[in-house]
């Protein structure tokens, strides 16, 4: 079990609250980042993306959100850095919850992704 676990959290989101509860039940003291109040920097987003091991930052974005469509982020010519910069500028685009544990990360949709990470 990694020493430091970080939860990118939105308290208004039931999945995010469920992830926090899961960590608490497991006795894991997480650093909770309310990412709408304290948005991750572009560099932090790059690190999270790398730890997710995903093909595209879209895996950590709220792709069904109206803002995603308004900003035309579905454009296939956008680079990973373009997408990460969009999240940095508009943290509401970040999917939630995301747990980072050591060198790995998981989007908690479904929560089983977090279970597998732990």
- Cβ atoms of 112 and 85 within 8 Å: the answer is no
Among this protein's residues, is 13 annotated catalytic? Answer: yes
CA 109 to chain centre: 10
> Minimal CA–CA distance to 92: which of 112, 73, 77?
73
Please identify which of the residues 4, 8, 11, 13 carries the catalytic annotation: 13
The contacts of residue 59 (CB under 8 Å, 6+ apart) are 52, 95, 107
Catalytic residue numbers?
Answer: 13
């Amino acid at each position: 079990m990694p020493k430091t676990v970080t939860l990118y959290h939105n308290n208004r989101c039931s999945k995010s609250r469920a992830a926090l509860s899961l960590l608490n039940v497991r006795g894991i003291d997480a650093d909770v980042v309310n990412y709408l109040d304290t948005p991750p920097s572009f560099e932090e987003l790059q690190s999270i993306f790398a730890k997710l091991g995903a093909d595209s930052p879209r895996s950590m974005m709220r792709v069904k959100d109206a803002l995603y469509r308004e900003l035309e982020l579905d454009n296939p010519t956008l680079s990973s850095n373009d997408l990460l910069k969009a999240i940095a500028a508009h943290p509401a685009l970040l999917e939630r919850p995301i747990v980072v544990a050591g060198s790995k990360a998981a989007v908690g949709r479904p929560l089983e992704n977090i279970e597998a990470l732990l």
